[in-house]
Structure 1
Amino acid sequence: MTGSPRILLVDDEPSIREPLAAFLKVEGFVPTPAPDAAEARRLLTGERFDLALVDVMMPGEDGLSLAKHLVAEHDLPVILLTAKTDDIDRIVGLELGADDYVGKPFNPRELTARIKAVLRRAGRASGAEEEAGAELRFDDLVLSPEEMTLTGRGGKAIELTGGEFRLLLVLAERAGRVVSRDDLLELTQNRTAQIFDRSVDNQISRLRRKVERDPGKPSLIKTVRGGGYSMAAKVERR
């Protein structure tokens, strides 16, 4: 496909639907929110979508019924969202043709990775999305978004926490650009900074100890006074 992937986002909770739509837009998708199945069906009569995110528990027509319709009538890839942990719902959803199943609460970065994976499997990923799944190489390090691994100098694996991995990925994907602390919190933890919040700074310090040649004189992750942080290395995608 060409252009940014168009996502139909169906969830009756505004507190989930609206922030998630905003996040997906930042990540390069074109989200169209719908509060229920009826609105989703209406939108499908006049718009084209590449994937649907569908909440299972909704008033009126539930997400499983809508997912069945999306798969059978529109051949649309579907990822189900639900707060329920019942394996029966998950199995039923997958048997109906859903491509994936994500439980609430979820990390938006993980959901983004799932979306990209489903789009690639369905052959609907744009050139930009295919590129986003490629390995990122910088300063003899290899960061793999697909495997969620970092290979160090000499080919040895470097163990990162989930938060450290997301932080490094955000900076590497935006190499040469300054990313503010607020944006780093939003992109990696889906929350806003509180007064005296130093979680990003502490995480950067730990990350530097793992990836910098000389953590005392960082050359990869630079601090920008009053701005945030920036990946200074040249990043190649392969």
Structure 2
Amino acid sequence: MNETILLIEDDQQIHDMVLNHMEREGYAVTSAFDGDEALSLFSKRTYDLVILDLMLPTANGLDILQEMRKDSMLPILIMSAKGSDLDKALGLGFGADDYIAKPFSLIEMTARVKAALRRSKQYSQTATDQAEQTVRIGDVEMNMSNFSVVKNGEVVNLTAKEFQILSLLATNPNRVFTKGQLFESVWKEAYYGDDNVINVHIRRLRGKIEDNPSSPTYIKTIWGIGYKIEVET
């Protein structure tokens, strides 16, 4: 069965270019041209990956991204004419898995789609291999088979990348990970020193699991090095 992509793009020319190329690559593509249509389609079936334009009629692309992340951890690839580091950090911080700036080549688009799908499959397989494994740090409990996180009996909604970061740190207690190690372990790509991506994800993760994110109990900063989850031995 072909892998399925939800393509959300209001520019007809770009839409047709991406659609035709992805179909030639063997993907089954469903199209949405505005935010309302995108969320409607997203709620009706399961997709393997979403390609999301940030500039959409009827809704902001980041709002669409947040809505999708409430119920799903599937790979989401943002594409936008906004290509600044800030825009990229915002998109990734809101839960996107990757970002491609317009104009882009179809070769690059295909490579990023394949990489995102490959990472998703690898992570799903890892989770299957760790079926029903539960990791606890303090009041936070992680179920590695269904990607759920609970703190003091309350469900904590994490994005895919936030869960992967927390999982990596929690399953390696007291080990310090540099930002480069975190990026390469979670994103499976080379790290070129862009701290924004890691900083945004750590900040948002702390905001969800820490009682006081400014004075974290779980995710400790080791200044000049990176981060770790500290437990007593």
TM-score (norm 2): 0.51
> Residue 119 of structure 1 corresponds to which residue in structure 2?
117
* Residue 84 (structure 1) shift: 1.3
Q: Name the SS for the 2:44 alignment partner.
A: coil
Matched, 1:96 2:94: yes
Unaligned runs of 5+ in 2: 124-188, 191-233
Q: Name the SS for the 1:64 alignment partner.
A: helix
> Residue 57 of structure 1 corresponds to which residue in structure 2?
55
State the alpha-carbon separation in 1 of the partners of residues 117 and 74 from structure 2.
Answer: 10
State the alpha-carbon separation in 2 of the partners of residues 71 and 4 from structure 1.
Answer: 23
Aligned AA for 1:51? L
Task: Specify the structure having the higher radius of gyration (Cα).
Answer: 1
State the alpha-carbon separation in 2 of the partners of residues 49 and 124 from structure 1.
Answer: 17
Aligned AA for 2:94? L
Aligned AA for 2:106? P
State the alpha-carbon separation in 1 of the partners of residues 119 and 70 from structure 2.
Answer: 18
> Residue 223 of structure 1 corresponds to which residue in structure 2?
none
* Residue 19 (structure 1) shift: 2.0
> Residue 134 of structure 2 corresponds to which residue in structure 1?
none
* Residue 109 (structure 1) shift: 1.2
State the alpha-carbon separation in 2 of the partners of residues 116 and 72 from structure 1.
Answer: 24
> Residue 44 of structure 1 corresponds to which residue in structure 2?
42
In the alignment, is the contact (CA less than 8 A) between 1:99 and 1:118 conserved in 2? yes
Q: After the TM superposition, which residues 151-162 of structure 1 pair with which residues of structure 2 at under 5 Å, given as runs?
A: none
State the alpha-carbon separation in 1 of the partners of residues 21 and 58 from structure 2.
Answer: 27
Matched, 1:31 2:29: yes
State the alpha-carbon separation in 2 of the partners of residues 40 and 8 from structure 1.
Answer: 8
State the alpha-carbon separation in 1 of the partners of residues 43 and 116 from structure 2.
Answer: 23
Question: After TM superposition, what 4+ stretches of structure 1 lie above 2 angstroms from structure 2?
Answer: none
State the alpha-carbon separation in 2 of the partners of residues 124 and 49 from structure 1.
Answer: 17
Q: After the TM superposition, which residues 172-183 of structure 1 pair with which residues of structure 2 at under 5 Å, given as runs?
A: none
State the alpha-carbon separation in 2 of the partners of residues 58 and 72 from structure 1.
Answer: 20
State the alpha-carbon separation in 1 of the partners of residues 67 and 120 from structure 2.
Answer: 17
State the alpha-carbon separation in 2 of the partners of residues 100 and 27 from structure 1.
Answer: 19
Aligned AA for 1:96? F
* Residue 58 (structure 1) shift: 1.2
Aligned AA for 2:105? N
Unaligned runs of 5+ in 1: 126-145, 148-238
* Residue 124 (structure 1) shift: 7.4
> Residue 9 of structure 2 corresponds to which residue in structure 1?
11
The CA deviation string for residues 155-200 of structure 1, in whole angstroms up to 9 with x for no partner, is xxxxxxxxxxxxxxxxxxxxxxxxxxxxxxxxxxxxxxxxxxxxxx
TM-score (norm 1): 0.50
State the alpha-carbon separation in 1 of the partners of residues 73 and 19 from structure 2.
Answer: 22
Q: After the TM superposition, which residues 178-217 of structure 1 pair with which residues of structure 2 at under 5 Å, given as runs?
A: none
Identity %: 37
Once structures 1 and 2 are overlaid, which stretch shifts more, 103-112 or 84-93? 84-93
In the alignment, is the contact (CA less than 8 A) between 2:5 and 2:50 conserved in 1? yes
State the alpha-carbon separation in 1 of the partners of residues 83 and 9 from structure 2.
Answer: 17
Please give the root-mean-square deviation of Cα atoms over the aligned residues, in Å.
Answer: 2.0
State the alpha-carbon separation in 2 of the partners of residues 60 and 88 from structure 1.
Answer: 23
